[in-house]
Structure 1
Amino acid sequence: MNRRVLLFIAVFFTVLNLKAQMSVKPGLRAGLNFSTISEMHADYKTDFYAGGFAEIKITKLYALQPEINYSRQGSNNVARNYFDENTQTNRTEHLDLEINYLSISIMNKFTLPQGIQFQAGPTLDVLLNDNLAVRKAQNDLGFVLGVAYALPSGLTFEARFKKGLLDVLSSDYYQNDSNNYYLFGDYNTNMNFQLGVSYSFGK
């Protein structure tokens, strides 16, 4: 028999087998963000995220999960030294930076028989609003790594780390040259730890 025919038959039955195992379950997720911006002396900002997803289960161990989430991020208590032209003195102000995104992610989920999951995937963060005085990147690209514990009921407890790749603000404005204690670099990226839950509908 022709090798191409054999290959076609093998691919055909592989696709049929995958289709028989595949299932799609919608779901919701929400939790807490603990975010900051790298290379700045600042505190973590505590806020929330919420969204929805579709879990496309391809095999017993692997699922592809597109997500759309609303994510409130930023950094608190950012110290900025500057020269006040009005008073002709050096002054310090402390700012709470807010950056809110619509996050679109494609997560790869690997689930062990015990319910332990390992998650990883890319994310595109579309800027909704912020209070940055000087912004660099309008949107952000990043990656997400996580672990989770899934219950048979569809409830899952998740812990994730999301790291942005683009420089999101201008360090020329937020830098602090007059105090070497503060670390201000030229590459300021989003860093976000997430703790939350998700729930998928259907069996």
Structure 2
Amino acid sequence: MRKLFVLLIITVFTFVNISAQETRFGLKAGADFASLKVKFEGDNLSTSETGFYIGAFAEIAVSDSFKFQPEVLFVTVEDLGQIAIPLMAKFPISGEFDILAGPSLGILLDSEEGMKSFNFGLEAGAAYDITDNFFVEARYNLGLANLLEDAPSGYSVKLSGFFAGLGYKF
């Protein structure tokens, strides 16, 4: 199932490249400051860990004021690995500064027994072009999926994170 999902993403990237008027591809990497929020019997527990992310993206110009930016990222924190697939709407604010927002899907690679492997959430942030090719970015991912399998009422486990990194557009 995971291989099929990754193949689907690669296929979408390929067809987008063929059909888009102006498409740029790129690579990115940075730090992930993840938080796991656990809710049970009225109590809340939160833990934070630092990891990294690395991946690829396509920047598809739909109009002068809107770009679509699908991404495939490998995110790792401690012993937890995830393939993240943010589907970002990118709005240029100035020649160098962009606002990004959109849904993010994820596949947890090391989910423990009793935990779901599919994750989803909302992501928002900003990017600043240092040059035509290099940029810096910062984003927050709000995890919406309850990762606890067959969770009783009032019980949840959610994964969120703050990302900061560098990227290169070809």
Query: Which band: TM-score by shorter chain?
Result: 0.7 to 0.9
1:127 maps to 108
SS at match of 2:64: coil
Deviation digits for residues 67-102 of structure 1 (CA, Å, limit 9, x no counterpart): 10001146xxxxxxxxxxxxxxxxxxxxxxx32111
Shift of 1:115: 1.3
2:74 maps to 70
2:139 maps to 160
The two structures, once aligned, show a CA RMSD in angstroms of 2.3
Unaligned runs of 5+ in 2: 1-19, 39-43
The answer as to whether partners of 1:36 and 1:73 remain within 8 angstroms in 2 is: no
Shift of 1:27: 0.3
TM-score (norm 2): 0.75
2:3 maps to none
2:32 maps to 33
Shift of 1:42: 4.3
Equivalent residue runs for 1:108-187 within 5 Å: 108-130=89-111, 132=112, 134-169=113-148, 186-187=155-156
Aligned counterparts of 1:125 and 1:69: Cα–Cα separation in 2: 9
Q: Give runs of ≥4 in structure 1 deviating > 3 Å.
A: 39-43
Shift of 1:65: 0.8
Shift of 1:136: 2.9
The answer as to whether partners of 1:22 and 1:59 remain within 8 angstroms in 2 is: no
Aligned counterparts of 1:139 and 1:23: Cα–Cα separation in 2: 32
Q: Which has the larger radius of gyration?
A: 1
2:57 maps to 53
Deviation digits for residues 139-189 of structure 1 (CA, Å, limit 9, x no counterpart): 11111111111234221110000112111237x9xxxxxxxxxxxx62221
Aligned counterparts of 2:73 and 2:137: Cα–Cα separation in 1: 14
2:21 maps to 22
Give 1:38's aligned amino acid: K
1:179 maps to none
2:5 maps to none
* 1:137/1:194 CA distance change after superposition, 3 Å: same
Unaligned runs of 5+ in 1: 1-20, 75-97, 173-184
Give 1:66's aligned amino acid: P
Q: Percent identity?
A: 29
SS at match of 1:41: strand
The answer as to whether partners of 2:33 and 2:163 remain within 8 angstroms in 1 is: yes
SS at match of 2:157: coil
